[in-house]
Structure 1
Amino acid sequence: MSEKAPVVPDSGKPGNDLLRQITQGPGLVSVLGVIVALVIGGLLIAVTDEKVGETAGYLLAKPSAFFSEFWRAATESYVALFNGSIYNSTQGFKPFLETLTVSTPLICAGLGVAVAFRAGLFNIGAQGQIIIGSVLAAYIGFAWHLPIGLHLLLVIVFGLLGGAIWGGLVGLLKAKTGAHEVILTIMFNYVAVYLIDFLMNTQAFRRPGETNPISPILDSSAIFPAIPGSRLHLGFVMAVLLVLAVAWMFKRSTVGFEFRAVGHNPEAAQTAGINVARTTIIAMALAGALAGAAGVAQVAGTEKVLTGGIAGSLGFDAITVALLGRSTPWGTFFAGLLFGAFQAGAVNMQITTGTPIDIVSVVQSLIVLFIAAPPLVKAIFGMNRKKKRSSKLEPTKAGAK
Structure 2
Amino acid sequence: MDKWRNIFNPSSVFVPLGAIVLGLLSGAVIMLLGGYNPVDAYQALFRKVFGSPYDIGETIRTITPLLFTGLAVGFTYRAGLFNIGADGQYIMGMTGAAIVGIKLQLPWFIHAPLAVLVGAIFGGLWAALVGYLKASRGVNEVISSIMLNWIALYLSNYLLRALLLEPGQQRSYFIHESASVSIGWLSRALENARMDWGIFIGLIGAIVFYFLLWRTKQGYELRAVGLNPDAARYAGINIKSSIVKSMFIGGVFAGLGGVFEVLGVFHYQVLSAASSGYGFDGIAVALLGGNHPVGIVFASILFGTLTYGSAGMNFSADVPTEIVRIVIGAVIFFVASHGIIQGIVKPFMASRRKLDKKGAA
Deviation at 1:367, TM superposition (A): 1.5
Q: Please give the alpha-carbon distance, in whole angstroms, between the structure 2 residues aligned to 1:333 and 1:385.
A: 26
1:106-129 CA-partner distances (Å, limit 9, x unpaired): 111110100001001000000110
Matched letter for residue 278 of structure 1: S
1:89-111 CA-partner distances (Å, limit 9, x unpaired): xx2x4422211111111111110
The structure 2 residue matched to 1:36, chosen from 15, 18, 22, is 22
Please state if 1:236 is matched with 2:199.
yes
The structure 1 residue matched to 2:128, chosen from 133, 148, 168, is 168
Please state if 1:205 is matched with 2:169.
no
User: Is the Cα–Cα contact under 8 Å of residues 81 and 226 in structure 2 kept in the other structure?
Assistant: yes
Match of 1:268 in 2: 231
Deviation at 1:201, TM superposition (A): 2.8
Matched letter for residue 348 of structure 1: G
1:295-343 CA-partner distances (Å, limit 9, x unpaired): 1011011111111349511010000011111111111111111111111
Deviation at 1:358, TM superposition (A): 1.0
Deviation at 1:177, TM superposition (A): 0.8
Match of 1:139 in 2: 99
1 or 2, which has the higher helix percentage?
2
Match of 1:188 in 2: 148
Please state if 1:81 is matched with 2:40.
no
Rg (Cα) greater in structure:
1
User: Is the Cα–Cα contact under 8 Å of residues 130 and 311 in structure 1 kept in the other structure?
Assistant: no
User: Is the Cα–Cα contact under 8 Å of residues 98 and 231 in structure 1 kept in the other structure?
Assistant: yes
User: Is the Cα–Cα contact under 8 Å of residues 295 and 311 in structure 1 kept in the other structure?
Assistant: no
Please state if 1:104 is matched with 2:61.
no
Match of 2:181 in 1: 224
User: Is the Cα–Cα contact under 8 Å of residues 27 and 326 in structure 1 kept in the other structure?
Assistant: no
Deviation at 1:213, TM superposition (A): 2.4
Deviation at 1:79, TM superposition (A): 1.0
The structure 1 residue matched to 2:302, chosen from 328, 338, 351, is 338
Deviation at 1:256, TM superposition (A): 1.2
Q: Please give the alpha-carbon distance, in whole angstroms, between the structure 2 residues aligned to 1:223 and 1:349.
A: 33
Deviation at 1:197, TM superposition (A): 2.6
- Map 1:328-367 to 2 at 5 A: 328-367=292-331
Match of 2:83 in 1: 123
Deviation at 1:220, TM superposition (A): 1.0
Matched letter for residue 276 of structure 1: I
Q: Please give the alpha-carbon distance, in whole angstroms, between the structure 2 residues aligned to 1:170 and 1:382.
A: 38
Q: Please give the alpha-carbon distance, in whole angstroms, between the structure 2 residues aligned to 1:386 and 1:132.
A: 45
**SS state of the match for residue 108, structure 2?**
coil
User: Is the Cα–Cα contact under 8 Å of residues 128 and 247 in structure 2 kept in the other structure?
Assistant: yes
The structure 1 residue matched to 2:346, chosen from 360, 380, 383, is 383
**SS state of the match for residue 200, structure 1?**
helix
- Map 1:263-302 to 2 at 5 A: 263-302=226-265
**SS state of the match for residue 26, structure 1?**
helix
1:35-80 CA-partner distances (Å, limit 9, x unpaired): 1010000111122126xxxxxxxxxxxxxxxxxxxxxx11111111
The structure 2 residue matched to 1:315, chosen from 275, 279, 282, is 279
Q: How high is the TM-score relative to the length of structure 2?
A: 0.88
The structure 1 residue matched to 2:137, chosen from 172, 177, 182, is 177
How has the CA–CA distance of structure 1 residues 377 and 215 changed in structure 2, closer, same or farther, with 3 Å as cutoff? same
The structure 2 residue matched to 1:253, chosen from 216, 232, 248, is 216
The higher relative CO (CA closer than 8 Å, separation ≥ 6) is in 2
Cα RMSD (Å): 1.8
Aligned residues: 334
User: Is the Cα–Cα contact under 8 Å of residues 137 and 158 in structure 1 kept in the other structure?
Assistant: yes
User: Is the Cα–Cα contact under 8 Å of residues 200 and 213 in structure 1 kept in the other structure?
Assistant: no
**SS state of the match for residue 306, structure 1?**
coil
User: Is the Cα–Cα contact under 8 Å of residues 15 and 345 in structure 2 kept in the other structure?
Assistant: no
